[in-house]
Amino acid sequence: GAVVSQHPSWVICKSGTSVKIECRSLDFQATTMFWYRQFPKQSLMLMATSNEGSKATYEQGVEKDKFLINHASLTLSTLTVTSAHPEDSSFYICSARPGEQYFGPGTRLTVT
Amino acid sequence: GENVEQHPSTLSVQEGDSAVIKCTYSDSASNYFPWYKQELGKRPQLIIDIRSNVGEKKDQRIAVTLNKTAKHFSLHITETQPEDSAVYFCAASKGGTYKYIFGTGTRLKVLA
């Protein structure tokens, strides 16, 4: 099956700094990737749709200047959390689709 | 936009019994309905899906039914086993967007 990786798997950063999370499709090309946020014991909330070579499409209520998404190639999308604050602490998961969506293992972000 | 409701939020069954999880969606244009299983700390894994031109689909102990008129779909797990214990998410999507809107999740516990 399709394999999606994420890096890092966890990260701790100080308030005010920026953090970059990578999402890679390892064995297929993904023109579209998705970024989700998941709070403990809650559902996956779609943040944005990342399209290769074009601007990401953000869901309502998601600050595009805070969550910068870049889909520079058919196998890589990055999410940068800028000027992170403790309330940004969460589990961030990406997915990519060769058809149905395959999920990465997630990145746990803790902002202190 | 699309809204997906999922019930129940928690479900405990005895090993060997059946489990049923129900979801309703609001957008009649949705035409693809995947189900994901997420074990603690792991990525969501696709377990079964159904398209709107089909009323039922089965894969061994797992089945999904879809009622387009009522806009609801259900996951059925028969002969449950302890390893079925996880959080299950339904989702709805419509062709062209490929976006998934997830339900709130059901925590299934299979008691040995």
Residues B71-90 pLDDT 10s: 999 999 999 999 999 999 99
Cα A81 to Cα A79: distance, rounded to the nearest angstrom = 6
Of B45, B99, B105, Cβ closest to residue A43: B105
Distance of alpha carbon A28 from its chain centroid, rounded?
18
pLDDT tops 80 at residue B96: no
User: Residue for token digits 């809650």?
Assistant: A42
Q: For an interface test with A, which of B35, B43, B89 has the most A Cβ atoms less than 10 Å from its Cβ? A: B43
Cα A101 to Cα B30: distance, rounded to the nearest angstrom = 16
- Cross-strand partners of B88: B37, B106
Task: Please report the number of interchain residue pairs, chain A to chain B, with beta-carbon separation below 8 angstroms.
Answer: 43
pLDDT tops 80 at residue A1: no
pLDDT tops 80 at residue B58: yes
pLDDT tops 90 at residue A100: no
A103 at B interface, C-beta within 8 A: yes
User: Residue for token digits 């089965």?
Assistant: B58
Q: For an interface test with B, which of A7, A39, A101, A107 has the most B Cβ atoms less than 10 Å from its Cβ? A: A101
pLDDT tops 80 at residue A98: no
Q: Is the Cα torsion angle A88, B90, B38, B97 positive or negative in sign?
A: negative
A101 at B interface, C-beta within 8 A: yes
Nearest CA in chain B to A37: B102
Q: What is the pLDDT of residues A43-97, one digit of tens each?
A: 999 999 998 888 899 999 999 999 999 988 999 999 999 999 999 999 999 999 8
